[in-house]
Amino acid sequence: MEHNILSLDFWQDTVTYESHTMPTGTIGCAALNIPDTVIDKLDELCAPINRFMKTLTSGAPDPALLPETKEAAEKILKMLHTVPPFDCLDMDFYISNISKAFTTDGIQKYQAYSVAFLTGNLAAEQMEEYNNGILLGRITPVLAQLAFSLREYKNGMTQFAMELDATESNRTPDGLAELFGKCFPPELSLSEENKWMSHTNATTQYLSTIRPGEDVAKLVKRMHYVSFVGMFRSDLFEGLCVGHAPKKCRICGKWFLTTN
């Protein structure tokens, strides 16, 4: 599986993220444990990346913002390298390539790639040539919105996780589905106040792939997301479908995943 910071492979009751395979729901559960102090720190680091992203999306990226943006991006990755689920990421890959992407060359490659893509003149053999620009275009919005995504996820899912933890209902797919229906009635799921429940910006593909550490190909559902809030929520809900759910430790207060 190629590096893609916002993609998950689902197969039966497991999920693969950045070459790590685990029970479905593990990623969404781990995100509930990210401390608010970490998110507050991310707010500061995301600010310069947001400023650069605005110039990037306007079509006039400002090279003067690159040093501050690159420094903030590196600090974010280094801060998160021990924080689950971000500890799954290949930090050597991302940090080393950020130093190449957040450059004037990266901006030029991003602009050239965008023009080639929009005009339909993008050839497969050119992709490697645009690598730095593609990474710049993908990782800039991801890091710029990271603090917002984590806060939105925790605000939306912590109360639901508390309901799951407090209930005496059967922690099976049927029991969890019943409780889910009480917390998220169908008629509310896509209303204005609950629009974050939608996955309209996610794309899904099915493909045969050999997962890390295995020899036989599996037919997996690969989902690509535009933000971490959607990715974490999707993994949490896919876990509920197979009977996996978060539970809070009475001793340390952290969330862990029950699978049976």
pLDDT tens readout for residues 59-102: 899 999 999 999 999 999 999 999 999 999 998 888 888 889 99
Average pLDDT over residues 113-119: 83
Structure confidence at residue 121 (pLDDT)? 75
Q: Answer yes or no: is pLDDT of 29 > 90.
A: yes
pLDDT class for 193, splitting at 50, 70, 90? Answer: low
The residues, any chain, with a CB within 8 Å of residue 135's CB and separated by 6 or more, are: 97, 98, 100, 101, 106
Q: Answer yes or no: is pLDDT of 2 > 70.
A: no
The residues, any chain, with a CB within 8 Å of residue 214's CB and separated by 6 or more, are: none
CA 256 to chain centre: 19
DSSP annotation string for 95-113: HHHHHHHSSHHHHHHHHHH
Closest CA to 245 of 42, 13, 4, 5: 13
Structure confidence at residue 38 (pLDDT)? 96
Average pLDDT over residues 106-125: 83
pTM of model > 0.85: yes
pLDDT class for 212, splitting at 50, 70, 90? Answer: confident
Q: Answer yes or no: is pLDDT of 241 > 60.
A: yes
More confident residue, 255 or 164: 255
Structure confidence at residue 1 (pLDDT)? 39
Q: Answer yes or no: is pLDDT of 199 > 60.
A: no
Mean of per-residue pLDDT scores for the chain: 88
CA distance 248 to 255: 4
